[in-house]
Amino acid sequence: MENNKFRLMKDMYSDNRGGHSKFVDLYCENCGVHVLLYQKDGPGPLKRLYLDRILAPSEFTSLQSVEKLPDLYCKTCNRLLAIPYVYERENRRSYALLAYVTVDKKGKGGYPPKRLSLGK
């Protein structure tokens, strides 16, 4: 298992969104397992995952070089979380998150995080 501490990326995309960035830990809403660590730029809800902002695990960071993206499933309960999508305004490959299938929590940039307690 990876054990890393990441730094926020600063580039034209973060600058276009006001220079406000944060780490987000994404969890499966169904089973509570951690899916990935993501850098969110700008305000508002998380709607899509740009490939260049997925920081961990390596199984998702390597998707930038894949020509045809697979759907994104939870590795534990096999729930569909997101589908491939191209954000046309910036011509950026990404995943469109499906509504109500993920829980995101502000992260500190460390990977792996602690398991999420869903209180079920």
95, with CB counted inside 10 A (0-12, 13-18, 19+), is buried
pLDDT in tens, 71-117: 999 999 999 999 999 999 889 999 999 988 888 888 888 887 866 66
Consecutive H or E run containing 34? strand 34-41
pTM over 0.75: yes
Distance of CA 49 to the CA centre of its chain: 5
Q: Which amino acid is at 55?
A: L
